[in-house]
Amino acid sequence: MDRLIQFLLSENTGKKVGALIGLVVGLSIVLFGFLSTLLIAICMFVGGIIGKSMDDNYSGVDGFKQMFRKKSE
């Protein structure tokens, strides 16, 4: 079992991860429909952004305020 896991993680990991993502997306479209799958993907994307900002101790509110702050020249 350890050799199988080592083999799966050792070579061409990008291809394997891409194939797995394709499988999951394809099954989701078949099982739930395109729009439901799209909604799930959007929610995952937003959740990933929120999680990254939490990991980086970055407040989205501060970023929003910074966008509208006057820039001193």
What is the rounded CA–CA span in Å between residue 34 and residue 43? 14
Q: pTM to 2 decimals? A: 0.60
Segments making up each domain of the chain, as ranges: 33-73
| pLDDT (tens digit per residue) in 14-72 | 888 888 899 999 999 999 999 999 999 999 988 888 788 777 777 666 666 766 776 66
Within its chain, how far is the Cα of 26 from the centroid?
Answer: 17
